[in-house]
């Protein structure tokens, strides 16, 4: 831990490097506590406090546990560390969650109270677009405002202009982005379909979609199986990619694909948010 490193400066650097971390901020203190409101700390996925200060052992255990959980599910947390008698007055026990607040017991002699907000900061999910078709270019353009790290891979000779993406690769041989979540769309549309599919099937992904008909994908499937690629892997590709929105133009098709990817990306998160609102409503 380095309490002397500028926390906000390190936050900027870690975000730029697409590295995951949790930012813990003391939002309220009552009575005697080691850290005061506004104190911050950066916590890495391995539980190491890389910079900042949020107090000693009284707060560390509960905060590190909350940080690990936040990095695992991507949800922010508010924890309230209080003496046992105050928890009893509230009618809660250590580990209870009420109205979005997780309670923990302060074991230190100071018997102060600290409320700490723990926010996970995750790398942007990666969208890998393979191909230089109009749909591919529309996907790359529309995905940026949605918070994706966009990589487009295609023979550069097929591109009339250089798209505004985070990473542009010539051809279909590339290093896979080392992000938590990866979504892949093959939109070659007749120019290197098989090569792009083989590249897309060579790594783990949360979603794979192929812009093309079921018949075309069935034909490519037979070729891929003949090259020794497992059927279960080939069948992980959604073809045709996208929700059935009645899309016609490349921009509309791209929108339907991003809508489908958003469903995959947010799966589980919306349920958690609805559950939280339901608890508050009760």
Q: What is the 3-state secondary structure (H, E, C) of the chain?
A: CECCCCHHHHHHHHHHCCCCEEEEEEEEEECCCCCCCCCEEEECCCCCEEEECCCCHHHHHHHHHHHHHHHHHCCCEEEEEECHHHHHHHCCCCCCEECCEEEEECCCCCCCEEEEEEEEECCCCEEEEECCCHHHHHHHHHHHHHCCEEEEEECHHHCCCCCCCCEEEECCCCCCCCCCCEEEEECCCCCCHHHHHHHHCCCCCCEEEECCCHHHHHHHHHHHHHCCCCHHHHCCEECCCCCCCCCCCHHHHHHHHHHHHHHHHHCCHHHHHHHHHHHHHC
The residue-averaged pLDDT of 18-45 equals 89
The residue-averaged pLDDT of 195-221 equals 95
Q: What distance in Å separates the CA atoms of residue 129 and residue 253, rounded to the nearest whole number?
A: 14
pLDDT tens-digit profile of 215-274? 999 999 999 999 999 999 999 999 999 999 999 999 999 999 999 999 999 886 655 544
Q: Residue 54: which pLDDT band, with cuts at 50, 70 and 90?
A: confident
Do residues 24 and 117 touch, judged by C-beta distance below 8 A?
A: yes
Do residues 244 and 230 touch, judged by C-beta distance below 8 A?
A: no
Nearest residue to 197 (alpha-carbon basis) of 158, 156, 236: 236
Q: Is the pLDDT of residue 162 over 90?
A: no
- Considering the chain, what percentage of its residues have pLDDT values greater than 90? 70
CA 239 to the chain's CA centroid: 24
Beta-ladder partners of 167: 151
CATH of 126-270, one of 3.40.718.10, 2.40.110.10, 3.40.50.720, 3.40.50.1220: 3.40.50.720
pLDDT at 268: 65
Which pTM was predicted?
0.72
Taking each helix axis from N to C end, the angle separating 214-226 and 193-200, rounded to the nearest 10 degrees, works out to 70
Q: What distance in Å separates the CA atoms of residue 157 and residue 249, rounded to the nearest whole number?
A: 24
Do residues 159 and 144 touch, judged by C-beta distance below 8 A?
A: no
Largest CA distance in the chain: 71
Beta-ladder partners of 80: 103, 115
The residue ranges of every structural domain in the chain are 7-121, 126-270
pLDDT at 35: 80
Edge-to-edge strand list for the sheet holding 113-121: 49-52, 40-43, 21-30, 113-121, 77-82, 101-105, 97-98
pLDDT at 251: 97
Q: What distance in Å separates the CA atoms of residue 105 and residue 88, rounded to the nearest whole number?
A: 10
């Amino acid at each position: 831990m380095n309490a002397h490193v500028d926390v906000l400066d390190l936050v900027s650097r870690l975000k730029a490097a697409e590295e995951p971390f949790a930012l813990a901020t003391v939002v309220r203190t009552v009575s005697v506590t080691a850290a005061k409101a506004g104190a911050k700390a950066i916590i890495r996925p391995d539980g190491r406090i890389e910079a900042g200060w949020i107090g000693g052992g009284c707060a560390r255990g509960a905060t590190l546990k909350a940080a690990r959980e936040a990095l695992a599910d991507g949800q922010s947390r508010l924890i309230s560390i209080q003496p046992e008698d105050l928890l009893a007055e509230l009618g809660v026990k250590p580990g209870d969650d009420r109205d979005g607040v997780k309670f923990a017991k302060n074991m230190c002699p100071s018997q102060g109270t600290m409320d700490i907000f723990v926010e996970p900061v995750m790398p942007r999910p990666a969208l890998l677009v393979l191909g230089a078709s109009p749909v591919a270019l529309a996907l790359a353009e529309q995905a940026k405002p949605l918070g994706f790290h966009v990589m487009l891979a295609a023979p550069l000779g097929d591109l009339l202009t250089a798209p505004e993406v985070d990473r542009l690769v010539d051809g279909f041989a590339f290093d896979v982005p080392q992000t938590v979540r990866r979504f892949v769309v093959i939109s070659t549309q007749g120019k290197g379909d098989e090569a792009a599919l083989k590249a897309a099937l060579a790594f783990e992904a949360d979603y794979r979609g192929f812009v093309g008909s079921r018949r075309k994908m069935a034909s490519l499937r037979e070729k891929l199986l003949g090259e020794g690629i497992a059927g279960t892997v080939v069948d992980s590709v959604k073809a045709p990619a996208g929700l059935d929105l009645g899309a016609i133009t490349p921009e509309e098709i791209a929108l339907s694909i991003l809508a489908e990817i958003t469903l995959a990306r947010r799966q589980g998160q919306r349920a958690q948010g609805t559950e939280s609102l339901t608890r508050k409503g009760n």
